[in-house]
Amino acid sequence: MSIGQRLYQWWDSDFFYAFRTSPVAIVAFSVVMLLFGGALLAPLLSVMDPFDMAALNLMNGFTPPMQPNAFTGDTFLLGTDDQGRDLWSAILHGLRVSLFVGFSAVGLAMAIGISLGLLAGYLGGWVDALIMRVADVQVTFPSILIAMLIFGIARGLLPPEARNDFAIWVLILSIGLSEWVQFARTVRGTTMVEKEKEYVQAAQLLGLSRLQIMRRHILPNVMGPVLVIATITLALAIIAEATLSFLGVGAPPTQPSLGTLISIGQDFLFSGEWWILLFPALTLLALALSVNLLGDWLRDTLNPRLQ
């Protein structure tokens, strides 16, 4: 069955029906789309470039939301931070960084996981044993710890002056490398089942190469579970990115993500500027929660056995 046919099946039948009749799925999906849209259109929607130091007016610092600033009279929807940076614009740009890192990391994890899973499942033998043992040892440790370690090592390998420039890529690398195991395990399992089926053996007899068989015959069959894992992993990756950035070992100060904004906000809790913390925190929560809900719903709908 081709990918096109499978897609058509989804949209034509139960999948789309299940979506239309699930309020949770609709709300979660809408929130995710709204946040994606905001991130994509950040340059258009924001009132200033929050990271152009020249555009900032220090006099605008600590302006509460929806109230005119005492000195300049400027009003900001969500208020400003200590440097007079508009929070609305900062959140949109932060969302952009968070989502970019999240998606790229999931993409990386997926690429690694699917390739290794296909290899392990199709070739078996020592390749399978080696890949799966590494996976076993890695999942013993929480992925956030693995990501921190990789981040530290990558920083150590980079010259100090390049560390900030490459921080985003290092972040993607470390989260991507820490989340591949689930993909590999699932793909391996499906591959081992599929490769025994007649059509794959027929393809083998026809003289198709291993690579062709895997790409054309096995890959389409693992897409359902992979989509589910990707969604759940996206939530994990977004949380991991925010955590690392909050701890100061993630996004660089020049490209703050939601986690960075929250860590800045924490500094002003005691002095009463609550909005600097609250709005980025709510955005992150809305994002993580709706992606999680969507993942849960996808899992229940597409593959109830995957747990």
Partner 1 sequence: MLSIILSRLGQATFVLLLVALVSFSMFRFVGDPASNMLGQEASQAEREALKDRIGLNDPLPVQYARFVGNALQGDFGLSYRTREPVADMIASRLPATLELALVSALMALTMGVLLGVYTAINRNGWLAQMIMSTSLVGVSLPTFLIGVLLIWVFAVELSWLPSFGRSGTVDIGGWTTGLLTLDGWKSLVLPAVTLGLYQMTLIMRLVRAEMMEVLRQDFIKFARARGLSERRVQFGHALKNTLVPVITVAGLQLGSIVAFAIITESVFQWPGVGLMFINAVYYVDIPVMSAYLLLVGLVFVVINLIVDLLYLAIDPRIKSKQVGAGS
Select the residue interacting with partner 1 from 31, 227, 249, 306 (CB under 8 A): 249
Nearest to 215 by CA among 249, 231, 239, 191: 191
* DSSP string for residues in 138-150: HHHS-HHHHHHHH
Select the residue interacting with partner 1 from 11, 17, 71, 141 (CB under 8 A): 141
**Paired strand residues for 86:** 80
Q: Where do the H-state alpha helices sit in 21-124? A: 23-40, 42-45, 87-123
43 part of the interface to partner 1, by CB under 8 A: no
Select the residue interacting with partner 1 from 76, 100, 180, 246 (CB under 8 A): 246
- For residue 265, the minimal CB distance to partner 1 (Å) is 8
253 part of the interface to partner 1, by CB under 8 A: no
26 part of the interface to partner 1, by CB under 8 A: no
By CB under 8 A, the count of residues binding partner 1 is 38
248 part of the interface to partner 1, by CB under 8 A: yes
Closer by beta carbon to partner 1, 35 or else 239: 239
Asked whether 84 and 63 are in contact (CB, 8 A), the reply is yes
Closer by beta carbon to partner 1, 173 or else 214: 173
- For residue 278, the minimal CB distance to partner 1 (Å) is 9
Site string for partner 1, 202-241 (x = CB under 8 A): ---------------------------------x---x--
Asked whether 32 and 290 are in contact (CB, 8 A), the reply is yes
Asked whether 294 and 32 are in contact (CB, 8 A), the reply is yes
Asked whether 63 and 74 are in contact (CB, 8 A), the reply is yes
Site string for partner 1, 262-301 (x = CB under 8 A): x--xx--xx---x--x---x--xx--xx--xx--x-----
**Cα 132 to Cα 121, 192, 232, distances in angstroms:** 10, 13, 21
- For residue 106, the minimal CB distance to partner 1 (Å) is 17
Closer by beta carbon to partner 1, 7 or else 137: 137
116 part of the interface to partner 1, by CB under 8 A: no
Q: What per-residue string of b and e applies to 212-241 under the rule 16 or more CB within 10 Å gives b?
A: ebbeebbbbbbbbbbbbbbbbbbbbbbbbb
Closer by beta carbon to partner 1, 134 or else 202: 134
Query: For the CA atoms of the chain, what is the radius of gyration?
Result: 23
Closer by beta carbon to partner 1, 12 or else 267: 267
Identity (one letter) of the amino acid at 197?
K
State how far the Cα of 256 lies from the Cα of 156, in Å rounded to an integer: 22
Contacts of 101 (CB under 8 A, 6+ apart): 168, 171, 172, 175, 237, 241, 251, 257
Region of 39-47, 106-114, 191-199, 261-269 interacting with partner 1 (CB under 8 A): 261-269
Nearest to 200 by CA among 215, 187, 185, 183: 215
Contact footprint for partner 1 (CB under 8 A): 137, 140-142, 144-145, 148-149, 151-153, 155-157, 235, 239, 242-243, 246-249, 259, 262, 265-266, 269-270, 274, 277, 281, 284-285, 288-289, 292-293, 296
